[in-house]
Amino acid sequence: MCPRDMTSREQELVSIAHRVLPGGSLGNIANDLVIDRGEGSHIWDVSGNQYIDYLLGSGPMLVGHAHPEVLEVVRDQLEKGTTFFAGNEHAILLADEVVKAVPCAEKVRFSSTGSEATLYAMRAARAYRGRDKILKFEGGFHGMNDYALMSMAPANPAPFPQAVPDSAGIPKSIQDEMLIAPFNDIETTTAIIEQHHDEIGGVIVEPFQRLLPPQPGFLEGLREITEHYQIPLIFDEVVTGFRFGYGGAQEFYGVTPDLCTLGKAIAGGFPLTAIAGRGDIMAHMDKGSVDDGEFMPQIGTLSGNPVAAVAGLKTLEILRREGTYDRIFATGARIKNALQKLLDEAEIPAKVIGEASLFDVFFTESDVTDYRSTLEADPVAMARFNSSLLEQGVFKGASKFYISAAHSDQDVVETIAAFETAVEHLKG
């Protein structure tokens, strides 16, 4: 972590964290920054240091922290109750809005985390298809369930389609239920699906994998081969849903899956995610619509709770306002293009990869199109770059600049100035 002013209170909290939390953290960000509050595009630590925030809670704060309109409806709901384990007006209306917004959505079910949503989506595909195996893409992040933690970030990738576990504690049998393909390689993916199509229950993919945009024809080819064999195609849009456009990445890239998962932006920073998709697949969550043995229960204490749902409804209302996405993409493009220009002028080998609303830099001369090509980037340069930005009051995660509707022209100016200093540090 970079040197910064820390009060005795923050030092005390860091000490407690290292005593009671494994690794001294919540498992997400591995530094000793203790956040006190956020407003708009900025956050403050417990010591009072202010940062321009490009982590945005790992993406959910698309309209900014503590948006006053979101807070107002949440306060109103808090006085009426926080959860009921039963239908409520806000959850019903939020599901209706998802169906209106998302191309693949005919039915919706809510959960609380992205890990739950992807687990249920894979289970629904298997229930519908009557097959056990799931194909996913190497380097794809689908949360923390056992199936998702196969070949997410393997240090020693195996030959395709062999899966590699990314965590201790996962039963070895899970490896046999997962097939792994290379992102952006439709030829290899097609060959795997053709060989195993009788075993595959579903295919899950981030249409924009971490930071990697799909190459022309990849998503279209994936849609074609899965449709040919009637294998459900799942888009994991926990990150891209409502961020790449109101209809998500499926609208942005013009390819419609059978199922999708949604999260982060859908609830404006509150714990709510969703599984959405074709009615005949989602019917497996309705006991009265399927035969005995085909029902898939989906139960969660906080699923669709009214506080998160009303926050989601207001967040989506704000996103629908004229010019919102134009502003997000214009802001991101200015930052993204300025970073690449500064690196090019400094003759530092680097590629700024992604879309205007979500991107980052890889310190490499090579093209970055799949997980294995990301391994060629220099992690030391990346750590130095992030460290320099933090020292100058620009906060981001280990990877990804998330852009919000709250980032201002002044934020852009200050961020580019921080880039200039960070690039000079990399040259030195």
pLDDT digits (tens, 9 = 90+) for 317-374: 999 999 999 999 999 999 999 999 999 999 999 999 999 999 999 999 999 999 999 9
Tokens standing for 94?
């939020």
Category of 140 on φ-ψ map: left (φ > 0), alpha (ψ -120 to 50) or beta: beta
Contact yes or no for 166/150 (Cβ under 8 A): yes
Query: Nearest Cα to 177, choosing from 206, 151, 209, 207?
Result: 151
| Residue 289 pLDDT exceeds 50 | yes
What is the spatial distance between Cα 361 and Cα 359, in angstroms, rounded to a whole number? 7
pLDDT of 377 higher than 60: yes
- Residue 204 pairs in a beta bridge with 234
> 3-state DSSP call for residue 251?
helix
Number of neighbouring beta carbons within 10 Å of residue 112:
20
Reading the block at residue 11, the tokens are 């030092």
CA dist 384 and 230 (Å) reads 47
The predicted-structure confidence for 68-82, as pLDDT tens digits, reads as follows 999 999 999 999 999
Residue 2 pLDDT more than 70? no
* Architecture of the domain spanning 68-319: 3-Layer(aba) Sandwich (3.40)
Q: State the pLDDT at residue 1.
A: 37
- pLDDT by residue (tens digit) across 127-186? 999 999 999 999 999 999 999 999 999 999 999 999 999 999 999 999 999 999 999 999
Contacts (Cβ under 8 Å, ≥6 apart) of 110 = 91, 94, 95, 272, 273, 274, 300, 303, 304, 309
Nearest 5°: the CA angle 388, 55, 12 is: 70
Domain segments of the chain: what residues? 1-59, 68-319, 323-399+408-428
Predicted confidence band of residue 32 (pLDDT cuts 50, 70, 90): confident
Strand bridging mode 35-39 / 42-45: antiparallel
Q: Report long-range pairs for 360-368 (Cβ below 8 Å, ≥24 apart).
A: 360/211, 360/396, 360/399, 360/400, 360/401, 361/385, 362/211, 368/211, 368/212
399-428 residue pLDDT tens: 999 999 999 999 999 999 999 999 999 987
As given in the structure block, the two tokens for residue 110 are 């809510």
Handedness of CA 78, 80, 83, 88 (dihedral sign): negative
Say what the pTM is.
0.96
CATH 2.60.40.3080 fits 1-59, yes or no: no
Q: What is the pLDDT of residues 233-271, one digit of tens each?
A: 999 999 999 999 999 999 999 999 999 999 999 999 999
Spatial contact of 346 and 374, defined as CB atoms under 8 Å apart: no
Q: In CATH, what number does 323-399+408-428 get?
A: 3.90.1150.10
Q: What is the pLDDT of residues 37-61, one digit of tens each?
A: 999 999 999 999 999 999 999 999 9
Identify the pLDDT of residue 31.
81
- 80: exposed, middle or buried (C-beta count within 10 Å: 0-12, 13-18, 19+)? exposed
Domain 1-59 and domain 68-319, same fold? Reply is no
Question: What distance, in Å, lies between the first and last C-alpha atoms of the chain?
Answer: 19
- SS3 call for 110: strand
Contact 386, 398 (CB under 8 A): yes
| pLDDT score at 427 | 87
